[in-house]
């Protein structure tokens, strides 16, 4: 025995083994956000590169651009939906709030775009030759249906998703679950 020892053998504590394994929602959140971003950006870039040089004062250009945009709406809505699910599973309130605001804002913009598009349709209808009317009617009908469905979908998605956000300024107590058995 050495002086000053208590008589017990010195034992070093075993090093604690820490797992580097992440929960699936933690491990997949960032890659899935990248997938969501790609679902949004690729159609946006494709649309921007497909539209001729901007001429907002031209009724024909506005009609063509808005009509073309209608074909690019579904994939970004899927991207926003995926991002909302990821943020909900990860309980990322700031991201949820940003996505809800984005969905509701885009819905309002699309509703306004639909109104402006219908005004352009009314203006252009008189200048369309008789033999081109069926194609014109088909084009604007398909475009307005797609835009309205997209706007309604975004509005519904944003409106329902806002309900997963915690109320500001107060904590909600979880409701007790009552189990009744015979």
* pLDDT tens-place values along the chain, 182 residues long: 555 555 565 677 776 766 677 777 788 889 999 999 999 999 999 999 999 899 989 999 999 999 999 999 999 999 999 999 999 999 999 999 999 999 999 999 999 999 999 999 999 999 999 999 999 999 999 999 999 999 999 999 999 999 988 887 656 677 788 888 87
CA 48 to chain centre: 19
The domain in which residue 88 lies consists of 24-126+134-162
106 inside domain: yes
Structural domain includes residue 170:
no
Is the residue at 171 inside a domain?
A: no
Question: What does the alpha-carbon distance between residue 108 and residue 64 come to, in Å, rounded to a whole number?
Answer: 21
d(CA 129, CA 136): 10
Asked whether residue 82 is assigned to any structural domain, the reply reads: yes
Among residues 69, 53, 169, 141, which one has the least CA distance to residue 109?
69
pTM: 0.77
**CA–CA distance, 137 with 131 (Å, rounded to integer):** 11
Residue 177 located in a structural domain: no
Residue 138 lies in a domain: yes
63 lies in some domain:
yes
Answer yes or no: is 14 within a domain.
no
In the chain, the number of structural domains is 1
């Amino acid at each position: 025995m050495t002086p000053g020892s208590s008589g017990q053998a010195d034992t070093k504590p075993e090093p604690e083994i820490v797992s580097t394994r992440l929960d699936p929602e933690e491990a997949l959140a960032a890659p899935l956000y990248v997938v969501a971003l790609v679902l949004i950006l690729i159609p946006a870039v494709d649309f921007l590169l497909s539209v001729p040089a901007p001429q907002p004062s031209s009724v024909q250009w506005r009609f063509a651009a808005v009509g073309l945009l209608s074909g690019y709406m579904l994939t970004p809505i899927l991207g926003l939906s995926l991002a909302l699910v990821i943020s909900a599973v990860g309980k990322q309130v700031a991201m949820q709030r940003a996505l809800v605001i984005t969905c509701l804002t885009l819905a309002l913009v699309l509703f306004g775009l639909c109104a402006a598009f219908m005004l352009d349709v009314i203006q252009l209808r008189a200048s369309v030759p008789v033999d081109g009317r069926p194609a014109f009617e088909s084009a604007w009908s398909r475009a307005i249906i797609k835009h309205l469905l997209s706007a309604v979908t975004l509005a519904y998605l944003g409106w329902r998703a806002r309900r997963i956000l915690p109320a500001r300024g107060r904590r909600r107590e979880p409701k007790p679950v009552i189990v009744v058995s015979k």
